[in-house]
Structure 1
Amino acid sequence: LAGKVAIVTGGASGLGEGLARRFAAEGAKVLIADVDTDSGAALAADIGANALFVEADVSDIEQVSGLVSTAVDRFGGLHVMVNNAGVSGTMHRRFLDDDLADFHKVMAINVLAVMAGTRDAARHMSKHGGGSIINLTSIGGIQAGGGVMTYRASKAAVIQFTKSAAIELAHYEI
């Protein structure tokens, strides 16, 4: 991945941290986006000059757009967009106990942010030779089960959205 630029949302810890470290280890420059400022800044410092941390709340689509422009301005392009940030919401054991109070937050982070990240990355990539957009989801998006209904619905939405975006963006080599 030498010479490539990647963005990883939710990149300060967990799977996102592992992805950011791997991209950097393979030679890419990586923009790490997260709401966890301390962990994100520490990770970028640990990776070194090929990493940049940007505090971003992906539920705000203006901040998602800012990630793409920052990557292009700072690193000279964008080749890989990883929409990794996600939340599970309140863990209700039964749907009948769910007050749906966190519905909008879960959908904003798990669905709207993925759509905005895909759109904004694709806008750049479509004019610069293509790229890869990776939208992380969950088995909860395809396997039915009790509880966490908003989370399951959000992950199912990401699966369908990603398949549809792939069809539309394929002729741009995305």
Structure 2
Amino acid sequence: MELWELCIVLSRCKPALLYWMWSPDGKRGTAPAVSVSLALRGPIATDHVLHHLPRAKTIFKGNKFGERQSTSADAKRAVLAKFQQRPSPDDPEVQARAAERKAIAEAREARLAERRVEREAEAARQAAEREAAAAAEAVRRKEEEAQALEAARAEALLKLEQKAARDARYAARKARR
């Protein structure tokens, strides 16, 4: 395998770091002098990338199938043990927590009901204010209409009086001739 091929293969591996080592004869850059250090962070599939390297699988010692299987079984047992450690629903502590949650929920419902009543009272108060304002506006309009009608009546009377005075002056002028 050429050195450039090795670099391409290693570049596909997520957290790979390639560094040079001096060969025993003091020369640098030959394929046996290249060493690979993989900083593995989490599970990655390395077999499809590193199977090209000579003795690549010897890097991962202890990665046998039986070991992985036992690790998986241990994890499952740990989850089961954690689940079995949970207290039963009849436990007084569990019942106390449930009663506390129920009291909190009832208090929340009471607060929500109180807020709902306050909102409805505020809406009723605002509706009453709007109705009172509308009634006051209607009274004010009627008064303005009455005042406008009275002003129109007074103006009509004034015009009639002025016409009568004008007619009297005209008649007096005619009588003097």
TM-score by length of 1: 0.20
Rg bigger for which structure? 2
Q: Which has the higher helix share?
A: 2
Q: Which has the higher strand share?
A: 1
